[in-house]
Structure 1
Amino acid sequence: MSRTRLTAACLAALICGAASPVLAQDFRSTPVVTDPSQAALALPRPQPAIPAPADRAYPGVIQYRADVSDLDRRIVQVEQTIPVAQAGPLTLLYPKYLPGNHAATGPIQLLSGLTVTANGQRLDWVRDTLDPYAFHLDIPAGVAAIEVRFQWLTQPPGQWRVTQAPSMLNLQWEKAILYPAGHFARRIAVAPSVRLPAGWTQASALAATPGEDGWVRFAETDLYTLIDSPVFAGAHHRRIDIDPSGDHVWLNLFGDEAKNIQPSAEQLGYYEAMVTQADRLFGARHFDTYEFLFGLTDQMGGIGLEHHRSSENTSAPDFFSAWNKSAGDRALLPHEYTHSWNGKFMRPADELTANHNVPTQNTLLWVYEGQTEYWGDVLAARSGLHSPDEAVALLATIAAFYDNQPGREWRPLQDVNNHNLLGYRVPGQWTSWMRGTGDYYRESLLIWLDADTLIREATNNRRSLDDFAKRFFGHDDGSWAPQGYTFQDVVAALNAVHPHDWAGFLRERLDAAGPEATAPLAGIERAGYRLTYVDDLTATEKAVQSGWANDFQYSLGFTLSGDKINAVRWGSPAFDQGIGAGWTLTAVNGQAASAEVLREAVTAAKGTDAPIELLVRNGERYRTVAFDYHDGLRYPRLERIEGTRDRLADIYAPRRR
């Protein structure tokens, strides 16, 4: 009998129950034990069941108190009074799948000091050995409520994102709360209170009433809405109305210093125009109030995170005062604002989960994040946050990145969507080969540009992706309840705008992989442009490509950070020389190395036969490598195709109605 036939026969015997009693168990999950004395050690320990969420109200209201005033030690003290209806088992959950993260990123490691008491007596809890986010308790008879206390140990820089700084803080409820299993998040009532540092004010989408000793009491709400309504607070805070149609959209500015939160009237006008352009794009609103929470700081960690009625954002302290160098960040608020329609009101059905411990699936992130990225850049241009030249220059950087990305040879974009945790904010050495989270934002943006220009061309510019946006996201004005969408829904809405093989169009671009797979750049050419590479940049391009002076990605295949070689592109000249990230560049053609000296050497070698010699160091080992490269410096640019319609100008032009 061949080995293959033997294996098949053994599997058949197991399935038919012909094996020993131990082996007859489910071979997919139970280890094979040949020594009966070891069976108890090998088999999984029995676990209390974690109740599945059901659409029923949790009895009573959870009283929640968080003291976030300990700025020196960055410790958040949490107390919760959780009513219980009966004696017996109770499971508390720490949120695992966090909104906007699209992955199991709940920082359970930072929850410490957990104690539970009832009627003054301490209750034992047991953490689930399979799921560390679940805590099991046995509630004694006669107990009407339990007291839960713990700390969220927020961390200093370099370990986790800083959420507490000397002049501002960001309270994200999902990282500092436990909730009872067995219920939909929207069926669990919570009455939250927060203690702020003395003299500070806060902003949130939740209605709030300041109290004594720095305590702020928020209106009772449900767990889903609470977690979707973070808090920014600070010593320097301004709340500015940016809604031309009424006081419903607010820009909350928090600064390390008071001087950081002084935008000009012109800059505020851009944000007012953004709100107007979003109204004209979507044709409806799905919130009663919208609060931008915007920290101008280099002390609190960076963030851009969407919520239905607010968003968490940070940028540099000089964001407003050094406006010309902030072009790369100016589309952040339009992106997060778009998410109120795409991602919050209309949401991929596989991300519309019952609570925050049910796994999300990410098959449609190319819509959730990708189309949002597209509209964020479009709204930035239509509002004036980006000039037309800045918008085109930014698009050139995206096109060039994917024009030179080798990872598509093995990994399709759909796979990056499905399992984003594989590259979730992991600064790997070979990111160009790994592919990562940025791809379902920016490569998907190129797909949506492709779709938009196809519709415009096929309808002689009578229709566009704007029509899709209004149809798909702009219905049910005033409704907040999230609605799920599927791939088929997206295809149907596109066909309603312009009949086409949209399913084939999308699948071809999402599933493409292999040596012949190319970046989706057809939309750029259909818009009247082509991607080129130049050896010198305009002032606008230099402002947009802020790291241009140290960028050799599209020439030698790496970037410089000081004297360190970083971001070596897979398959580039540097890669072929065996150079990896973290090597030190010591000399260029016999001269002490610097970015300027390297630029001069690459320029001098253009069109010649002379090699570019680099002396590099890896630890204690030195190497001299000679680059046979003669194409000069290469920076991306979109140039107009003569005689074609400028559809980027059409797309970026503000809507008049």
Structure 2
Amino acid sequence: MKKQLLAAVGLIAIIPAAFAQNGNSRPQPVVQPLTIPLPADKPYPGTMQLKVDATDVARGIFHVRQTIPVAKLGKLTLLYPEWLPGKHAPRGAIAEMAGFKPTAGGKPLNWTRQPTDVHAFDIEVPAGVKSIDVAFDFLSPTRTSEGRVVVTPAMMNLQWEQVSLYPAGYFTRQIPVQLEVTLPDGWTGVAALDGLKVAGNRYSYAPTNYEVLVDSPMFAGRHFRKWDLGQNVTLNVVADEAKYLDARPDHVARHAALVSETVALFGSRPFDRYEFLLALTDELGGIGLEHHRSSENSRNRDYFTAWDENDHERGLLPHELVHSWNGKYRRPDKLWTPDYRTPMQGNLLWVYEGQTSYWDLVLAGRSGMQSKEMILAEWATHAGFYSVQPGREWRSVEDTTLDPVIGARKPKPFASWSRGEDYYNEGSLTWLEADLLIRQATNDAKSLDDFARAFFGGREGDWGQDSYNFDDVVAALNAVHPNDWARFLRDRLLTPGQGAPVRGIERAGYQLVWRDAPNVFDRDRMAQAKNYDLTHSLGMTINKDGDASAVLWDGPAFKADIVNGTKIVAVDGMSYSKDRLETAIRAATDGKTPVRLLVERGGRYRQIDLAYHGGLRWPHVEKVGSGPDWFDRLFAPKRAL
């Protein structure tokens, strides 16, 4: 043994020499000095002037002119925003920026882009120059294949981070800026910025800081209405056509009730005013994005005019409003950054987004924005999906908080195995369990409402940021009801391999069941998406053209080598239709008959027999026994108390 060991040691010693003697070229890395100054919490000397010409609606081009005071001669580094609040990832639209031209006194200035940070522009400032002028164009996408469409013939969504730069080396809250924007004739624009002056189609605002500017986007449109919802909250709506602005008094009253219920929950307002920006459109790119004193929202154009058919659509505004408290005012400490170049870390997004996703449903129920049936159906859909999601085996909910960076919301080949941004919906179900645990342990004397008021409620009108960490969340929960909350959260959210998150549903006196017809949430979302979700039967979703997507890992379709993009051509020898497929799935419940499909992919056809005999299955929740209905207590309005 000793002799063999010595021989092995000798062989190991020879290996480095062999690598060194092979004669191949061996370069050394080029040293890349860090030349971009880090942000400092000190005032920037002077106020930037930002002018945006947004009148080129036909081509969707924003023309930008920006004047930036300079502190000294030499190199000035300007940054285009990259890491954007609310997106939890580097989503800066640098690819759409073109025509960059810096000048001083009308003379062009030399500039270079940082090769290791394409969002950074170095400009040489000559002696005697007090300010520079920068011109560029933002070429907004004109079709969805290029990105989110932000300009249509009837409306636009102006996000100031897309049409501005800021100097490196300063906290964005320390950089003063004054905005002027020119809109198309006859359009109305709204942004949560102060000191508005309107001259014709030119909107100008009082100086603010760059952080507030980026946090205060504008919706503008040809067809516009607004409603006062109370509590210094306004509902501002633009629409594809004027007829879609026909909201009934009851519709507005429910939005006002939402505001009242939200303030009643948290006990104070982290804003002096709040602007709902709502686009009713089939043309503008979809959005739901939170800000401190406003939110960007888009819904179906018939949001008001087909009110009863849009129950499933009415959870967005509650979600974005709650974010003013949870996400904007109280923010995870690693998600808050001093500028838009510093990377964000989203490990507590199961609070930021997960608890917001809980409160949006609760508040929708308390205000009448959504029906109890729709809310329970949504929880059933999510719980049902997590009951069959194989990716839970290896990936925790907390790890999915990195998915905005990893996946960037692009389509995935087998999303049920890789997982996605599950901190939203699984977070919601986890907070449902926490709420009912507290309620039942205290005989309904305490609830998650008490946590929300203590943790997210603050000084009235404070629209700064107050950061927190995991231990702060645990301490606040223990202050409401002593429990091993650290273990509760770690087991459910930080640990993979957990069972389906149904304990909250069960605590409410309900259970997850399966039926051969979709719940109302699945029914309506399938109608809107024009697809057929067979996750719990064949293990795939099929669009109106017969194309498969969302193939469930290790499900029947997966085992038959069906992948995303496979086309279902025929069912039992007849051309594909939803009804024929339903009939085939029902027939297969005899335990003998297969679901026979003709499929095509890449011009190649094959017939397959799916060995599935379980019938049509969609998740529902149903009441168990005669005990109390905790959901009724949960959805009981608070504003009259």
State if a TM-score over 0.5 links the two structures: yes
Residue type of the partner of 1:509?
Answer: R
- Trace 1:635-654 onto structure 2 (pairs within 5 A): 635-654=618-637
Q: Is the Cα contact below 8 Å between 1:294 and 1:312 reproduced in 2?
A: yes
Q: Indicate the residue corresponding to 1:185 in structure 2.
A: 172
Kindly indicate whether residue 523 of structure 2 is the aligned counterpart of residue 542 of structure 1. Answer: yes
Question: For residues 220-253 of structure 1, what are the alpha-carbon distances to aligned partners after superposition, in whole Å with 9 as ceiling and x for unaligned?
Answer: 100000000000111111121011xx5x100000
Comparing 143-152 with 208-217, greater Cα deviation is found at 208-217
Shift of 1:538: 6.5
The verdict on how the C-alpha distance between 1:164 and 1:7 changes in structure 2, with shifts beyond 3 A counting, is: farther
**What is the alpha-carbon distance in structure 2 between the residues aligned to residue 157 and residue 432 of structure 1?**
29
Shift of 1:2: 8.2
Q: Is the Cα contact below 8 Å between 1:62 and 1:81 reproduced in 2?
A: yes
Q: Is the Cα contact below 8 Å between 2:530 and 2:543 reproduced in 1?
A: no
Q: Is the Cα contact below 8 Å between 2:531 and 2:541 reproduced in 1?
A: no
Kindly indicate whether residue 156 of structure 2 is the aligned counterpart of residue 174 of structure 1. Answer: no
Q: 2:556 aligns with which of 573, 592, 605?
A: 573
**What is the alpha-carbon distance in structure 1 between the residues aligned to residue 343 and residue 492 of structure 2?**
26
Moved over 6 A (4+): 1-11, 538-541
Q: Indicate the residue corresponding to 2:603 in structure 1.
A: 620
Q: Indicate the residue corresponding to 2:493 in structure 1.
A: 510
Shift of 1:457: 1.4
Q: Indicate the residue corresponding to 1:279 in structure 2.
A: 263
Residue type of the partner of 2:79?
Answer: L
Shift of 1:322: 1.3
- Trace 1:242-321 onto structure 2 (pairs within 5 A): 242-243=229-230, 246=231, 248-321=232-305
SS of 1:625 mapped into structure 2? strand
Shift of 1:408: 0.9
SS of 2:613 mapped into structure 1? coil
Q: Is the Cα contact below 8 Å between 2:312 and 2:521 reproduced in 1?
A: no
SS of 1:301 mapped into structure 2? coil
> Any stretches of 5+ residues in structure 1 without a counterpart?
14-18, 21-31
Kindly indicate whether residue 137 of structure 2 is the aligned counterpart of residue 151 of structure 1. Answer: yes
Q: Is the Cα contact below 8 Å between 1:555 and 1:633 reproduced in 2?
A: yes
Q: Indicate the residue corresponding to 1:23 in structure 2.
A: none
The verdict on how the C-alpha distance between 1:610 and 1:193 changes in structure 2, with shifts beyond 3 A counting, is: same
Comparing 573-582 with 617-626, greater Cα deviation is found at 617-626
Kindly indicate whether residue 70 of structure 2 is the aligned counterpart of residue 108 of structure 1. Answer: no
SS of 2:424 mapped into structure 1? helix
Comparing 143-152 with 469-478, greater Cα deviation is found at 469-478
Kindly indicate whether residue 41 of structure 2 is the aligned counterpart of residue 59 of structure 1. Answer: no
Q: Indicate the residue corresponding to 1:346 in structure 2.
A: 330
> How many matched pairs?
630
Residue type of the partner of 1:59?
Answer: P
Q: Is the Cα contact below 8 Å between 1:187 and 1:223 reproduced in 2?
A: yes
Q: Is the Cα contact below 8 Å between 1:57 and 1:188 reproduced in 2?
A: yes
Q: Indicate the residue corresponding to 1:215 in structure 2.
A: 202
Q: Indicate the residue corresponding to 1:132 in structure 2.
A: 118
Q: Indicate the residue corresponding to 2:541 in structure 1.
A: 559
Question: For residues 580-633 of structure 1, what are the alpha-carbon distances to aligned partners after superposition, in whole Å with 9 as ceiling and x for unaligned?
Answer: 111111111222211111011111222442111111111221111112222110
Kindly indicate whether residue 613 of structure 2 is the aligned counterpart of residue 630 of structure 1. Answer: yes
- Trace 1:35-114 onto structure 2 (pairs within 5 A): 42-44=28-30, 46-47=32-33, 49-114=35-100
Shift of 1:111: 1.0
**What is the alpha-carbon distance in structure 1 between the residues aligned to residue 352 and residue 196 of structure 2?**
34
Kindly indicate whether residue 219 of structure 2 is the aligned counterpart of residue 237 of structure 1. Answer: no
Q: Indicate the residue corresponding to 1:464 in structure 2.
A: 447
**What is the alpha-carbon distance in structure 2 between the residues aligned to residue 651 and residue 33 of structure 1?**
74
**What is the alpha-carbon distance in structure 2 between the residues aligned to residue 8 and residue 336 of structure 1?**
63
Shift of 1:212: 4.0
**What is the alpha-carbon distance in structure 2 between the residues aligned to residue 128 and residue 10 of structure 1?**
40
The verdict on how the C-alpha distance between 1:8 and 1:594 changes in structure 2, with shifts beyond 3 A counting, is: farther
**What is the alpha-carbon distance in structure 2 between the residues aligned to residue 200 and residue 208 of structure 1?**
19
Q: Indicate the residue corresponding to 2:151 in structure 1.
A: 164
Task: Provide the TM-score with structure 2 as the length reference.
Answer: 0.94
Question: For residues 455-496 of structure 1, what are the alpha-carbon distances to aligned partners after superposition, in whole Å with 9 as ceiling and x for unaligned?
Answer: 111112111111100110112222222100100000000000
- Trace 1:355-370 onto structure 2 (pairs within 5 A): 355-370=339-354
Shift of 1:537: 4.6
Question: For residues 192-217 of structure 1, what are the alpha-carbon distances to aligned partners after superposition, in whole Å with 9 as ceiling and x for unaligned?
Answer: 10010011111111125344452110
Residue type of the partner of 1:518?
Answer: G
SS of 2:589 mapped into structure 1? coil
Q: 1:420 aligns with which of 404, 407, 422?
A: 404
Shift of 1:9: 11
**What is the alpha-carbon distance in structure 2 between the residues aligned to residue 464 and residue 548 of structure 1?**
39
Kindly indicate whether residue 206 of structure 2 is the aligned counterpart of residue 206 of structure 1. Answer: no
Shift of 1:46: 4.6
Shift of 1:395: 1.4
SS of 1:326 mapped into structure 2? helix
The verdict on how the C-alpha distance between 1:618 and 1:540 changes in structure 2, with shifts beyond 3 A counting, is: closer
Residue type of the partner of 1:78?
Answer: V
The verdict on how the C-alpha distance between 1:319 and 1:6 changes in structure 2, with shifts beyond 3 A counting, is: farther
**What is the alpha-carbon distance in structure 1 between the residues aligned to residue 520 and residue 478 of structure 2?**
42
SS of 2:364 mapped into structure 1? helix
Task: Provide the TM-score with structure 1 as the length reference.
Answer: 0.92
Comparing 416-425 with 483-492, greater Cα deviation is found at 416-425
Residue type of the partner of 2:618?
Answer: Y
Residue type of the partner of 1:536?
Answer: A
**What is the alpha-carbon distance in structure 1 between the residues aligned to residue 9 and residue 328 of structure 2?**
51
Shift of 1:5: 9.7
Q: Indicate the residue corresponding to 1:120 in structure 2.
A: 106
The verdict on how the C-alpha distance between 1:335 and 1:76 changes in structure 2, with shifts beyond 3 A counting, is: same
Q: Indicate the residue corresponding to 1:323 in structure 2.
A: 307
Q: Indicate the residue corresponding to 2:589 in structure 1.
A: 606
SS of 1:440 mapped into structure 2? coil
The verdict on how the C-alpha distance between 1:215 and 1:33 changes in structure 2, with shifts beyond 3 A counting, is: farther
Shift of 1:545: 5.6
Kindly indicate whether residue 480 of structure 2 is the aligned counterpart of residue 500 of structure 1. Answer: no
Shift of 1:420: 2.8
SS of 1:381 mapped into structure 2? helix
- Trace 1:478-497 onto structure 2 (pairs within 5 A): 478-497=461-480
Cα RMSD after superposing both structures: 2.3
